Structures are given as C-alpha cells and as structure tokens.
Structure 1
Amino acid sequence: MRRDLFDLQGFDEINVTPLLDLAWTLLVVFIIAVTASIQGIKVNLPKASNTPSLVKPKTKAITIDASGQFYLDAYPVTLAEMETRLRQYKAVDPDFPVVIKGDAKIYYEKVVDVLDLMQRLEITQMGLVTQRLVK
C-alpha cells in the first residue's frame, strides 16, 4: 500500500503568521471600540458660530444633562461635591481650565449656578461648549 500522498512528517516549526494577523486585527478593533466609547456624558449641545476650540489637556469638564444632573469629568456629583473637588483641583493648579457643557433643554438657572460657583472659586479660565452652526 502506497502512502506517499498521505505520509505524515513531523513539522519543525509552526506558522504563526495567521495567529499574528488575528491578534493585530483584534488589537485594532479593541482600540477603536475603546476610544469610541469614552466620550463622557451625551448631551444635546446648543449651536454657535465656528470658532476654534481652546480646550487644553487637563481641562475639567462640567456637564449638565437634560434632567439637570451635574457631572464632573463624567462622574455624577452634586453642586456641593463639585465645589469641594474644584477647590482641590485649584489648590494643585490655580490656573486649570474648565469647560461647561449644558444640554440645550435644561433651565438656564443650572448653568448660572455653575457660573456662580466658578466666580466664588475665582476660576477664570472657563468656556461654554456648543455645537458648530451649520450653514
């Protein structure tokens, strides 16, 4: 009986190229999925003119969602907790910038409360985040 075609010989090495291709693809998919999902709290921003953004790294973001809940860097807080944390940040870096993102449907009073807090804490580097106006 002839076994030339089916003769099993031992392999000295394993071809890992398909395994590396799979690992690379999974890594790329994971990186894209993680960066796409980390964007903070979703709010419906009001529209404004096309101006360049002045957001710096280490900027603290204050978000007010449609229900009026305050968030500091995507963590829910009360106004008193926000004041305590902002005082701590100011003690470390007196000139840290703050951006305020308020949902278009919230009462203006919530934004004014945050602006009053910024004034009490003497935080002068702040901005209001809006959407670009599409013409």
Structure 2
Amino acid sequence: MKVQEENAAYDEINVTPMLDLAYVLLVVFILMCTASVQGITVDLPKASDAPSLAKPQTKAITVTADGTIFLDTYPVDMAQLESMLQQFKAVNPALPVVIKGDASVQYVKIVDVLALLGKLDITQIGLVTQNLVK
C-alpha cells in the first residue's frame, strides 16, 4: 500500500465551491439588472404627516321599481337631481357616485341617470349589484 506524502501536489481541483460562487454571482447580476430597468423615475410629492380628516363623500342614487329616484334618502326628480349634483360637484370635483337600481326598473331610467352624470362630467361611478351565492 502506497502512503501519500503530506507535501504532495493535488492531482484534482475541487470545482464545486467555484461553481457555487459563479451561480451566486449570476443571480446577483440578474437581480441587479432587472431592478435598475424597472419603471420610470418620477419625483413624487411628499404627503403630509397629518391624517386627512375629510373622507370622500359618496352620493348614492337609487331608482326604485316604480321609477322614483332618490339622492341618498331624499326623493328627487331629474331637475332636482341635476342641481343638487352640480352643488356637490362644485364642493368636491372628484365626486364619487353609486347607482342602485331595482332589478325590475326600466332600463331607460338608469340610462337617463347615467346620461345626467356624463353631462355633469362625473366620472367616478359605481353600479351596486348583489352577490350570487351558489
């Protein structure tokens, strides 16, 4: 049996640690390249530290089965609805509105309300529906 000397040269080099290092460097390179390309640089405005006390005041328009129109809980006709929405829009230009229509109401009533909202340039509109649970 041949005994190896302690000072003998190695015939093989263990390349596993070098491959581990190469893979880690490759992953770091890929992450840094994709992170620098991501998005457009924009100088964003700073928000104040004080919490906002004013909440957006969403107005609800309800159309019942008989065609009666309510703004929040008050019955109105189309002319009153237009004047009241103009007043609310003057206070809050980004006035959000939700429309609740009865399932049996004529479609033309909802279209009339949507046309009025378009005329007043109210763009934040939501239609309330019911979830169907199966």
> So what's the TM-score if we normalise by structure 2?
0.58
Show the counterpart of 1:4.
none
* CA–CA separation in structure 2 for the residues paired with 1:112 and 1:97: 18
Show the counterpart of 1:78.
77
* CA–CA separation in structure 2 for the residues paired with 1:114 and 1:134: 29
> So what's the TM-score if we normalise by structure 1?
0.58
Report % sequence identity.
61
Q: Does 1:69 align with 2:65?
A: no
* CA–CA separation in structure 2 for the residues paired with 1:123 and 1:92: 13
What letter matches 2:81 in structure 1?
Answer: M
Which structure has the higher relative contact order (CA within 8 Å, separation 6+)?
1
How many residues in Structure 1 have an aligned counterpart in Structure 2?
80
What letter matches 1:86 in structure 2?
Answer: L
- Secondary structure of the 2:126 match is strand
Distance 1:91 1:57, change over 3 A: closer
Show the counterpart of 1:134.
133
* CA–CA separation in structure 2 for the residues paired with 1:84 and 1:118: 11
Show the counterpart of 1:120.
119
- Secondary structure of the 2:133 match is coil
Show the counterpart of 1:14.
none
Show the counterpart of 1:42.
none
The CA RMSD measured in Å over matched residues stands at 1.1
Show the counterpart of 1:90.
89
Cα deviation, residue 96, structure 1: 1.3
What letter matches 2:85 in structure 1?
Answer: L
Show the counterpart of 1:101.
100
1:2-24 CA distances to partner (integer Å, 9 max, x unpaired)?
xxxxxxxxxxxxxxxxxxxxxxx
Distance 1:94 1:57, change over 3 A: closer
1:75-128 CA distances to partner (integer Å, 9 max, x unpaired)?
000011000000000000000100000000000000000000010000000110
Structure 1 residues not aligned, in runs of 5+ = 1-55
- Secondary structure of the 1:61 match is strand
What letter matches 2:128 in structure 1?
Answer: V
Cα deviation, residue 57, structure 1: 4.7
Structure 2 residues not aligned, in runs of 5+ = 1-54
